[in-house]
Chains A and B, each alone.
Chain A
């Protein structure tokens, strides 16, 4: 297994457009997380899945954001009507329940013009 993969690595879009990011976790990991990292800051928790169930969403996740994890495999994070403030690195991580250690992907960088 090659680890957590994210696609695309970089997305440039115009304000008001919709964007979708995909995350493929490590295959045996049942937990999947999304974090957002802005310049000069540490990552901030957005949401968390255990298998296909979305168990928690941060207040940072406005109504324009939606995340899914169908069948408990890959996950998508969609941002509707993007704003310049959405520009950030979106990090996906996965873990196996017992160990709890998070394995991160390389991130998807969003630039909203």
Chain B
């Protein structure tokens, strides 16, 4: 079974600064996907960024980037130039690739607050 661990229950950052959220996972599989999802207060969860395990290059999406360390089973999210709208719960998630790529295993989440 796969597990996802987020060791930071809460974090805060000043607007325009950079923050990094940590995530580690455990799996015996070699082919999988990793995700960061954002859940704003009382709104639906949306995908922030996705990383395929077979790709060595770290994924980036505008101000969001990841540091994927496959050997260490680490998958951190860096948010640059933080904005007030980034305030949300952030979940790290894992899924197997191939036909089973539907079942996401989530961490417990990190509540990020961006302060003005």
Closest-by-CB residue of A relative to B105 is: A45
Query: Are B102 and A3 in contact, with the CB atoms below 8 A?
Result: no
Q: A21: CB under 8 A from chain B?
A: no
Q: A107: CB under 8 A from chain B?
A: yes
**Given A100-B101, A101-B50: A44 in contact with B44 (beta carbons within 8 A):** no
Closest-by-CB residue of B relative to A3 is: B44
Q: B43: CB under 8 A from chain A?
A: yes
**Given A106-B42, A106-B43: A48 in contact with B108 (beta carbons within 8 A):** no
For chain A, the count of residues having a C-beta within 8 Å of the partner chain is 23
Query: Are B102 and A91 in contact, with the CB atoms below 8 A?
Result: no
Query: Are A33 and B108 in contact, with the CB atoms below 8 A?
Result: no
Q: Which of A44, A100, A106 contacts B102 (CB 8 A)?
A: A100
Question: Which B residues contact A (CB, under 8 angstroms)?
Answer: 4, 33, 37, 42-47, 50, 91, 93, 95, 101-109
27 CB-based A-B contacts, threshold 8 Å: A33-B102, A40-B108, A41-B108, A41-B109, A42-B4, A42-B91, A42-B93, A42-B106, A42-B107, A42-B109, A43-B104, A43-B106, A48-B102, A95-B102, A100-B95, A100-B102, A101-B50, A102-B47, A103-B47, A104-B37, A104-B44, A104-B45, A105-B44, A106-B42, A106-B43, A106-B44, A107-B44
